[in-house]
Amino acid sequence: MFGGFTASFMATLTDYAGRNWFDLYNFYDVVIPWGGCSFFYIFGIIFTMGTLFSQFYPTRKWLKIMHVLVFSLLFLGAETLLIEVGVASYVNWNVWASLFVNILAISTLGWITEVFQLNIKRTAF
């Protein structure tokens, strides 16, 4: 779950800066605001995907690259879905910039996963 909290923290900082400081995108009909977007987005989609990413982080280098790319595309798909249904909109932003930032953020989460060994399965025995 540490990976989920880390991903949520990173997304909160990114979305706060992107929305409030740089006016890159907007979120609409936010029920519970959190860092410039929805609490349910951060602690729903982002938290879940961050947890899954960290728990199943592979050990082989080429699998790590594929893992980062797949999760970056999944994040991009979730973002595109929000744009398409009208919950969010790009102002000074585009899908390619999102993909680039997603790859950087997911790679950072992978590095954090390795440093803190978040993908090591531990037992109580």
How confident is the model over 6-38, as pLDDT tens digits?
999 999 999 999 998 999 999 998 889 888 788
Number of structural domains (the chain) is: 1
Question: pLDDT exceeding 90 applies to what percent of the chain?
Answer: 78
Domain presence at residue 123:
no
Range of the domain at 25: 2-115
- Domain assignment of residue 110, yes or no: yes
Closest CA to 40 of 86, 101, 103, 82: 82
Local confidence band at 122 (pLDDT 50, 70, 90 cut-offs)? low
Q: Is there a contact between 119 and 54 (Cβ–Cβ < 8 Å)?
A: yes
Asked whether residue 86 is domain-assigned, the answer is yes
How many CA atoms within 13 Å lie on the side-chain side of 18?
23
DSSP-derived letter for residue 37 is E
**Choice among 36-40, 57-61, 90-94, 114-118 with the minimum mean pLDDT:** 114-118
Inside any domain, residue 122: no
Whole-prediction pTM value?
0.87
The overall longest dimension of the chain from CA atoms, in Å, is: 53
CA distance 92 to 90: 6
